Chains A and B, each alone.
Chain A
Amino acid sequence: MSEVILKGLKKVYDNKVTAVHDVNLHIADKEFIVLVGPSGCGKSTTLRMVAGLEEISDGELYIDDRLVNDVAPKDRDIAMVFQNYALYPHKTVYDNLAFALKLRKTPKDVIDKKVREVAEILDITQYLERKPKALSGGQRQRVAIGRAMVRDPKVFLMDEPLSNLDAKLRNQMRAEIIKLRSRINTTFMYVTHDQTEAMTLGDRIVIMKDGYVNQIGTPQEVFNKPVNLFVAGFIGMPVMNFFDNCKLLKEDGKYVAEIRGVKFVLDEFQQKALTQNKVEPCDIIAGIRPQHVTVGQGELTAKIEVSEMMGSEYNIHANCGTDEVVMLIPTVDLETDVSMGKTVNFTTRPKLIQLFDKKTGNNLIWYDAESSEANAPVCKSYDF
């Protein structure tokens, strides 16, 4: 068992700047949780509070049901991988891996066995006698991961471990981390600003902004059921298209979304959810993912500004009135001319339209007031 529970965790610096506001998070045993958000959102600070590298200003932190607010980092049974590896440059790879065990006065034969086991798993046995400067970025990152692994920690913390690597190596190391996770099977807390890493690695994702948690959910949930405009815009590549000045209407007892004068009768699920939430007709911002746009049909029109042929799909940037629309259109069976300068019709399925309250920015269907007030926002669940 290695649960991590954050109860109202708060970080206020000496200059009165609040970096993290009341974070509530329950990380289950062996869960891989990813904290994601833009720079300065408080994700690293939260991780550092868990590590014990930052003092907790308020709230409680439990690791395995033990309150660890005032427990020294070394006694929390955690290990951390840093962004720039933080290897000891004067020590060999072997000594880097063995250092924590030596400090714990572990018998030499045990240290040797563990170091070699970990080196074998990470495929760095041949570099054990080298110093970090003689290794590539990827190899250094493996050593950094190995240094954490030898300690068999209850919780594995990773602070943007792949940001210093180039794109190709990052993809490779991401796959390595996925494999590693299945081998060591422990609780992971992973910080990144890269949503691809977050989506591919995390069992659940915590999306943060300005020190607040905006949504906690599985990759599917945060992609398909964003609770507010920020989450909707942050998750997904290319980013979601937002249509301002839209309306949610009620016609013949049915909810209708009006986008650029075109009416979309919402699907049954949306009707029920909006009815349950007692949503009155109002001004909305409509969100449509670029992947959910279909061209050559519908009444919405846009003039293509840029059309990029990506092989399996077209990446199109078009102007729809005052809004810029990005469309990802599969090339298979594409009959519409999507070359630059053309004006095309486009549409989407009503059930794929996200409806955000223009005043609050909250999703009219997925925003859950109760969990948000408890500072652990998740998407609303429905019985139907």
Chain B
Amino acid sequence: MEAVKSTPKASNSGKKNQNGPALENKKLKALRENAPFLVMIFPAVLVVFLFNYMPIYGVLIAFQDFMPGDKIFSPDTIWVGLDNFKRFFSDPQFWPLMKNTFLICIYGFIIGFPLPILVSLMLNALKGKKTAKFLQTIFTAPHFISLVVLVGMLTLFFGRYGLVNNIVEHAGGERYSYFLESSAFRPMYILSSNWQDFGWSAVIYIAALSNVDPQQHEAAILDGATRFQRVIHVDLPAIMPMISVMLIMSIGGLMGVGYEKALLMQTDGNLAVSELISTYVYKRGLTGVPDQAYATAIGLFNSIINVILLVIANTTSKRFSENSLW
């Protein structure tokens, strides 16, 4: 009996021993097969690691009493825990900054998110493909204008002695300083941003629409669908996965508005609404007497909000649709 019992044990252990090298061989074989691709991807991974991941350790200064010239890791480092964050929460600028950033982002999102979708659907529904291409080029071109030039154009149009004011004056009205008025900042900022980017953002949807099977449209035509109904029942569902992904990514970056354009458009007159988290971080971290630890804490706080929004958006999308980032 013992001999009988021992036989399978022996064979099992033998199998284990055989499986080990076999698995290793398999991995080695896969590595050898993929070697050219791994070599090709290495520079990209290196760049991402050096410029995207390595600098992350710099966020540590948000938890330090850090002065320019200090080393992040040194025996003299003073760790202050969450003091910089507490300072920001009790800063009189905290709520105005939060409000300004949130409003400019949410208004921008409400107008800017559906606009490229509508444009792509309209361009796709156009019968004349040449006209569609022409319009697409016209719509995409503003994306390549630099922010400085764009703000320069805004000044030329809406400045006190700009085109709009000249027309208003000719019509018997009074000149108006749009750049000095708080109420004009957000509309100018958001509309000009959307004007600049709606065509570019539409490209991704146009690409997705080009994959729609033309026979689906023909089937819908025979079913009696109008052009609008075809957009609703064929085109829109076809780009819905793309819309979901873009929505998640937009919500994830909702509070991540850049500082450059706001700074360029900022005047004493509109400062109450044009001071955003990003402009405040720039000013506190790089101008006057730099307080980099404080600026980093504010930036980190902003990033955490973005991550939370991204997770919420992704989870919601996963629950209510079949699309999610992960």
Interface residues in chain A, defined as those with a beta carbon under 8 Å from any beta carbon in chain B: 51-53, 73-74, 78-80, 82-84, 86-91, 99-100, 103-104, 147
Contacts and interface: CB of A to CB of B under 8 A. Distances in A.
- Grouping DSSP codes into helix (H, G, I), strand (E, B) and loop, the A interface class, with mixed when no group exceeds half, is loop
Contacts of B43: none
B215 A74 contact: no
Given A88-B233, A88-B234, A88-B237, A103 B224 contact: yes
A80 B222 contact: yes
Nearest to A104: B224
Contacts of B220: 88, 99
Interface residues of B, number: 17
A53 B221 contact: yes
Given A89-B237, A90-B240, A73 B215 contact: no
Given A80-B219, A82-B219, A74 B224 contact: yes
B86 to A, nearest CB: 49
Contact of B225 (A79, A91, A103): A103
Contacts of B225: 74, 103
Contacts of B216: 86-88
9 contacts: A52-B221, A53-B222, A74-B222, A74-B225, A86-B216, A88-B219, A88-B220, A90-B237, A99-B233
Contacts of B221: 52-53, 73-74
B218 A53 contact: yes
B316 interface: no
Contact of A83 (B215, B223, B224, B234): B215
B260 interface: no
B222 A99 contact: no
Contacts of A104: 224
Contacts of B213: 84, 86
B280 to A, nearest CB: 45
Contact of B224 (A51, A84, A100, A147): A100
Nearest to A153: B222
A115 to B, nearest CB: 14
A86 B229 contact: no
A99 B223 contact: yes
A74 B221 CA distance: 7
A51 B217 CA distance: 13
Contacts of A89: 237-238
Interface in B228-252: 229, 233-234, 237-238, 240
A82 B233 contact: no
A333 to B, nearest CB: 52
A74 B224 CA distance: 5
Contacts of B224: 74, 100, 103-104
Contacts, number: 56
Contact of A100 (B218, B223, B240): B223
- Grouping DSSP codes into helix (H, G, I), strand (E, B) and loop, the B interface class, with mixed when no group exceeds half, is helix
Interface of B: 213, 215-216, 218-225, 229, 233-234, 237-238, 240
A82 B215 contact: yes
Contacts of A90: 237, 240
A103 B215 contact: no
Nearest to A53: B218
A86 B216 CA distance: 5
Nearest to A131: B322
Nearest to B236: A90
B120 to A, nearest CB: 18
A197 B124 CA distance: 37
B222 A79 contact: yes
Given A89-B237, A104-B224, 7 more contacts: A73-B222, A74-B221, A80-B218, A86-B219, A87-B219, A90-B240, A103-B223
A79 B221 CA distance: 10
Contacts of A91: 233
Contacts of A84: 213, 215
Contact of B222 (A51, A83, A88): A51
Given A84-B213, A86-B213, A88-B237, A74 B218 contact: no
Contacts of B237: 88-90
A286 to B, nearest CB: 44
The list of the 4 closest CB pairs from A to B, nearest first, reads A74-B224, A100-B223, A90-B237, A86-B215
A103 B240 contact: no
A84 B218 CA distance: 12
A251 to B, nearest CB: 59
A89 B322 CA distance: 13
Contacts of A52: 221-222
B216 to A, nearest CB: 5
> Max chain B CB contacts within 10 Å: which of A91, A103, A104?
A103
Nearest to B214: A86
A73 B240 CA distance: 28
B184 to A, nearest CB: 43
A148 to B, nearest CB: 8
> Max chain A CB contacts within 10 Å: which of B213, B215, B220, B240?
B215
> Max chain A CB contacts within 10 Å: which of B213, B216, B218, B223?
B223
A366 B173 CA distance: 90
B244 to A, nearest CB: 12
A180 to B, nearest CB: 19
A91 B232 CA distance: 12
B223 A74 contact: yes
A53 B237 CA distance: 23
A36 to B, nearest CB: 21
Contacts of B219: 80, 82, 86-88, 147
A83 B225 CA distance: 20
A103 B220 CA distance: 10
A86 B218 contact: yes
A311 B218 CA distance: 46
Contacts of B215: 82-84, 86
B320 to A, nearest CB: 14
A240 B238 CA distance: 48
Nearest to A95: B233
Nearest to A90: B237
Contacts of B222: 51-53, 73-74, 78-80, 100
Nearest to A157: B222
A74 B223 CA distance: 6
